[in-house]
Structure 1
Amino acid sequence: MLLRLFRLFFALALAFPTLAQASPFMDKIGLRNAIRVGLTGDYAPFSTYDPATDSYEGLDVDLAHALAKKLGVHVIFVKTSWPTLSDDLKAGKFDIAMGGISVTPAREAIGFFSHPVLSDGKTPITLCKNVKRFGTLDEIDQPGVRLVVNPGGTNEKFARAHISRATIIVHPDNKTIFDEIIAGRADLMITDAVETRFQAKRHPELCAVHPDKPFDHSEKAYWMPKDRELKALVDEWLTRLKEIGALQRKIDKWVD
């Protein structure tokens, strides 16, 4: 146990010389010899979970492994969900949440966010034949239009803030939500532009609507308890990845 702490401290000293000392929070990571990363596992291209192999893949899965390697510890993925994400963070179920988390004031009140990983915004995705129907929020917010959302995250919050006349359909499984549009049970979804691009490539029937000009602007970052040492460590790690181009290479691998 003491050897693990020494190894973590030594790795931190070499990798992050500007950090004065490890915090009690970081000591727990050292004692565990692992950093616990919370993932929803249902938000491609950031994280997807395969129950058949009990494994995760995606942009933030790759980066979680890179962060753990930098610390000299293992990574443990902890399953969470968008409705329970805040409660799970407050309960200490993981050390850091990754997987395409948008920065919001409500979340900032609970924990620290890292430097942004990428910028994004909400935009529609629909059947390609309907792209011209749903270019504006006013065109979307019409009686008879069916807007599907996943529960508990910023997609549902955006929809309920801007949609009052169209029908909002809550679909509990974010992995199959786009099938609802393809099957004709919903007309569109409003989600992050990065996800609309990814899903449009996977489903030729679907098209992203003006993903380069989303309705709003948001940033994706990593979310953690209010531990200043951990935040400083993650920020410095991300800064270095950006400086050497490694972060952009990872983004280009998963995001087009």
Structure 2
Amino acid sequence: MGALLISPGNVYANDGRVEKITSAKKLRVCIWPAYYGITFRNNRDFQLRGIDIDMAKYLADDMKVTVSFIDSSFPSFMDDLDADKCDIAMFAIGQTEARRARVDMTEPHLRSGMYGVTTKTNSAIQSWDDLDKSGRVLAVQKGTVMEPYMLQNAKQAEIRVIVPPATREEEVLSGRADAFLTDYPYSRWMLVQHDWARVVPPLSPVNPVDYGFAVKKGQPEWLAYVNAFIRKTRADGRLLKAAKANDMEPIVILK
């Protein structure tokens, strides 16, 4: 079958993915539904909200198809892409070498460094410099960009890797950990959701990571199509609109 010409950017989608999506009239998007401000499912009304929910809807609108959100996670999204459970993963995926070896990453649309989260009653941790000290236990979630960075760079603190369904919050509240490391979006969620939480920001960005979307390897035209879409939303203002609507403006990449 011949190449299929579809906007944005007049990209020829001849690896078949765009044709498959348009034929099915459905874009399947893997998300992590616990990612506040990004792809978050509210337990009160079960609605999905976040910048990448908006971006997925924009992409589906541009393709003139419906969008179907498929629950995934950081540990499982690459397997889900390989198994063709979704066409694309859209939940602010940090761009790491390990992930690039497995999947193709799009151009970034967000960039975040690391933040600490502890309790308001923890008087021993007042600043970022108080985190990596002897006797401290710092929690990181398995599969996040914080895991390899802290395992490689922590000099004195013990790093505890948390595997779901266990949570970093439980580790801190129980006293098994002094703090946990996360990014800007999740730190906002902690302040919104938990009155016990206190965010510990660094004085300057620590391990800033570019976030984008991911597709299965071997689909260069589909990757080019999505990159053209990201550039289009940056130019026409939709990316900024989605960032403002979801309190992600401080980390959005507009150039």
Cα distance in 2 for residues equivalent to 1:32 and 1:185: 49
State which drifts further: 225-234 or 100-109.
225-234
1:121 to 113, 117, 129: 113
Question: Would you say 1:157 and 2:148 are equivalent positions?
Answer: yes
1:103 to 95, 98, 101: 95
Q: CA RMSD in A?
A: 3.0
Q: For each residue in 1:232-255, what CA deviation from the matched residue of structure 2 results, as whole angstroms up to 9, or x when unmatched?
A: 221111112111222112111112
- The equivalent residue for 2:59 is 67
- The equivalent residue for 2:251 is none
1:57 to 49, 67, 73: 49
1:145 to 112, 115, 136: 136
Cα distance in 2 for residues equivalent to 1:21 and 1:90: 19
- The equivalent residue for 1:4 is none
Structure 1: which amino acid aligns with 2:239?
L
Q: Please list, as runs of the form range in 1=range in 2, the aligned pairs for 1:17-28 lying within 5 A after superposition.
A: 17-28=9-20
Question: Would you say 1:194 and 2:185 are equivalent positions?
Answer: yes
- How far residue 78 of structure 1 moved from its aligned partner, in angstroms, is 1.5
Distance 1:199 1:175, change over 3 A: farther
- The equivalent residue for 2:162 is 171
Structure 2: which amino acid aligns with 1:69?
D
Q: Which consecutive unaligned segments of at least 5 residues does structure 2 have?
A: 249-255
Which secondary structure state, in structure 2, belongs to the residue aligned with residue 215 of structure 1?
coil
Structure 2: which amino acid aligns with 1:109?
A
Number of residue pairs aligned between Structure 1 and Structure 2: 247
Cα distance in 2 for residues equivalent to 1:114 and 1:50: 27
- The equivalent residue for 1:219 is 210
- How far residue 31 of structure 1 moved from its aligned partner, in angstroms, is 2.6
- The equivalent residue for 2:79 is 87
Q: Which consecutive unaligned segments of at least 5 residues does structure 1 have?
A: 1-8
Which has more helix, going by share of residues?
1
Q: Percent identity?
A: 26
Residues 34 and 40, structure 2, Cα contact 8 Å, conserved in 1: yes
- How far residue 113 of structure 1 moved from its aligned partner, in angstroms, is 1.5
TM value normalised by structure 1: 0.82
Cα distance in 2 for residues equivalent to 1:179 and 1:160: 20
Cα distance in 2 for residues equivalent to 1:42 and 1:175: 13
Structure 1: which amino acid aligns with 2:32?
T
- How far residue 212 of structure 1 moved from its aligned partner, in angstroms, is 6.6
Distance 1:215 1:244, change over 3 A: same
Cα distance in 1 for residues equivalent to 2:123 and 2:53: 32
